């Protein structure tokens, strides 16, 4: 979808980007499938996170009005990508949606994803927000046009965890339930459930 955006939809703000190492090594598909093609076509992406580390272009807590104002004054944005971030915020989803709309100019696009079926995963917190695509789209009210929405099913949770951490690390953590008891039980409960993610593709109209 991002590859079809017009040039006016850039720069694209990648909220909750994590580090350059995360995007290119730990989760290499993020860079190879999304950001490298955009870079080759000359489309600018601004990687933003709350931590000041390698690969983070802008340090921002987008739920803070002063941070949004500072970003607006220095960097005009075309669109916003917010992938699997709302479940890690201390503010209510409705407040986060208002902040996202403030960052996105009228006519710009919002791509927002949130796990619908996924185990508890604090990073650093997990508020357990698990909406359907309809519920996620409704957060943004009448200020957006909903171009597409879907609940996208992926692989089994256990497959995802092994692919991300490696088999040895997964087995080691499975043998030490006392380290993070809640995470351990959630891994067990969700291991044979398919991951499902609520995805919405929106355009701000007002």
Q: Smallest Cα–Cα separation from 14: which of 42, 53, 55?
A: 55
Whole-number pLDDT of residue 27: 87
Q: Within a domain: residue 95?
A: yes
- Whether the per-residue pLDDT at 179 is higher than 90: the answer is no
Q: Within a domain: residue 141?
A: yes
- Whether the per-residue pLDDT at 165 is higher than 90: the answer is no
- Whether the per-residue pLDDT at 91 is higher than 90: the answer is yes
Which contiguous run of DSSP H or E holds residue 96? helix 93-103
Q: Within a domain: residue 169?
A: no
How many structural domains comprise the chain? 1
- Whether the per-residue pLDDT at 33 is higher than 90: the answer is yes
**CB contact at 8 A, 155 and 174:** no
Quick check: bond before 205 cis, omega within 30? no
Q: Smallest Cα–Cα separation from 63: which of 38, 86, 40, 32?
A: 86
Q: What percent of the chain has pLDDT over 90?
A: 76
Q: What is the pTM of this model?
A: 0.91
Kindly write down the DSSP assignment for every residue of 114-143, as one continuous string.
EEEE-----SS--------HHHHHHTTGGG
3-state secondary structure of 65: helix
Distance of CA 204 to the CA centre of its chain: 18
Q: Within a domain: residue 23?
A: yes
Q: Within a domain: residue 85?
A: yes
pLDDT tens for 36-69 read: 999 999 999 999 999 999 999 999 999 999 999 9
The residue to which tokens 């989803």 are assigned? 93
Q: Within a domain: residue 191?
A: no
Q: At CB < 8 A and 24+ separation, what contacts does 47-50 make?
A: 47/14, 47/17, 47/20, 47/23, 48/13, 48/14, 48/15, 48/16, 48/17, 49/15, 49/16, 49/17, 49/18, 49/19
- Whether the per-residue pLDDT at 4 is higher than 90: the answer is no
Q: Within a domain: residue 45?
A: yes
- Domain membership of residue 69 as a residue range: 2-154+196-204
Alpha-carbon gap, residue 151 to 115, rounded angstroms: 9
CA angle 194, 140, 110 (to 5 degrees): 70
Q: Within a domain: residue 101?
A: yes
CATH number for the domain that contains residue 118: 3.40.50.150
């Amino acid at each position: 979808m991002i590859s079809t955006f017009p040039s006016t939809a850039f720069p694209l703000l990648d909220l909750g980007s994590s580090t350059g190492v995360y995007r290119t090594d730990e989760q290499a598909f993020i860079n190879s499938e999304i950001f490298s093609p955009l870079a080759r076509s000359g489309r600018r992406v601004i990687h933003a996170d709350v931590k000041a580390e390698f690969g983070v272009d802008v340090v921002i807590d987008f739920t803070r009005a002063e941070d949004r104002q500072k970003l607006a004054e220095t960097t005009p944005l075309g669109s916003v990508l917010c992938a699997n971030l709302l479940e890690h915020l201390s503010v209510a989803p409705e407040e986060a949606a208002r902040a996202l709309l403030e960052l996105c100019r009228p006519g710009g696009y919002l791509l927002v994803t949130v796990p619908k079926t996924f185990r508890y995963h604090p990073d650093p917190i997990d508020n357990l927000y698990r909406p359907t695509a309809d519920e996620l789209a409704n957060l943004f009210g009448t200020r957006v046009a909903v171009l597409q929405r879907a609940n996208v099913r992926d692989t089994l949770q256990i497959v995802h965890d092994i692919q991300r951490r490696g088999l040895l690390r997964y087995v080691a953590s499975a043998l030490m339930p006392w380290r993070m008891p809640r995470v351990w039980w959630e891994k067990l409960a969700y291991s044979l459930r398919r991951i499902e993610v609520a995805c919405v593709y929106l355009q701000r109209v007002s």
